């Protein structure tokens, strides 16, 4: 109970460092989720509704990338953006921007794979209806997304959950720098290593509260769409 009390005290104390960590966490998670979904949802839907040569191979590659270890993705991004890497001149290493890039590499295959599996199940009926109505391919694609909007919305939530809970890649490329790239997960790891378990547990509770608030808000959005 003391940890819960401390968590709420931290949350409502308006501690500057805590607020900065929360803001950095949300900024990184929302940007990485948004970019991954903008790329992954249409591409996954397209893969799901289309039949083409090499589709099984592409699906296997996507499923492999869905299980990509976060540290491996972080190491890849680190190598690309270090001073000796091809993008070293951009000076993005140990910034929120490069953390978002690492997150997108991890999350985008998940969004593509899940959305492809979802749309593939209902694709035949939608395509048949669209062809019968002489609709454009782009219109059929939009119809497939609309037909599965609630299921695809769960994919977005899944992407956000993975983003906000990630620690390996963001710690490697972000450096866990105080007042700059420290997020909730890396702060929890730091406090645990320092032996400050009670404070780390408090941060974990706050992280769970954020996830709970997001899911409650999402359920209301889905319900309003269904009622509409």
Q: Which residues of 161-188 are buried (b: 16+ CB within 10 A; e: fewer)?
A: bbbbebbbbbbbbbbbeeeebbbbbbbb
Whole-number Å distance between alpha carbons of 107 and 92: 20
Look at residue 79 in the predicted model and tell me its pLDDT.
94
At the fourth CATH level, the homologous superfamily of domain 2-227 is MetI-like (1.10.3720.10)
CB within 8 Å of 145: residues ≥ 6 apart:
41, 42, 45, 119, 152
Show the low-confidence residues of the chain (pLDDT under 70): 1-4, 6-7, 11, 14, 221-228
pLDDT score, position 221:
65
What is the per-residue pLDDT for 148? 78
CA atoms within 13 Å, Cβ hemisphere of 177: 10
Q: What is the pLDDT of residue 222?
A: 60
CB 95 within 8 A of CB 170: no
Query: How far lies 179's CA from each of 6, 42, 135, 228, in Å?
Result: 22, 36, 52, 43
* Model pLDDT, residue 192: 86
C-beta separation of 125 from 56 below 8 A: no
pTM (2 d.p.):
0.86
Domain ranges (residues) in the chain: 2-227
């Amino acid at each position: 109970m003391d940890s819960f009390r401390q968590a709420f005290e931290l949350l409502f104390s308006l501690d500057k460092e805590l607020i900065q960590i929360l803001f950095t966490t949300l900024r990184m998670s929302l940007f990485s989720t948004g970019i991954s979904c903008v790329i992954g949802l249409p591409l996954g839907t397209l893969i799901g509704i289309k039949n083409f040569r090499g589709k099984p191979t592409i699906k296997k590659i996507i499923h492999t990338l869905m299980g990509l270890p976060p540290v491996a993705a972080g190491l890849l991004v680190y190598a690309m953006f270090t001073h000796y890497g091809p993008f070293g001149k951009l000076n993005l290493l140990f910034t929120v921007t490069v953390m978002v890039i690492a997150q997108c590499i991890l999350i985008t295959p998940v969004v593509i794979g899940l959305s492809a599996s979802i749309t593939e199940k209902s694709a035949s009926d939608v395509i048949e209806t669209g062809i019968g109505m002489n609709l454009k391919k782009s219109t059929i694609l939009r119809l497939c997304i609309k037909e599965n909007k609630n299921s695809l919305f769960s994919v977005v939530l899944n992407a956000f959950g993975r983003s906000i809970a990630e620690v390996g890649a963001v710690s490697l490329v972000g450096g866990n720098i105080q007042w700059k790239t420290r997020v909730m997960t890396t702060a929890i790891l730091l406090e645990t290593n320092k032996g400050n378990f009670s404070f780390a547990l408090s941060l974990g509770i706050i992280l769970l509260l954020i996830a709970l608030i997001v899911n409650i808000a999402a359920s209301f959005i889905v319900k309003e769409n269904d009622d509409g």
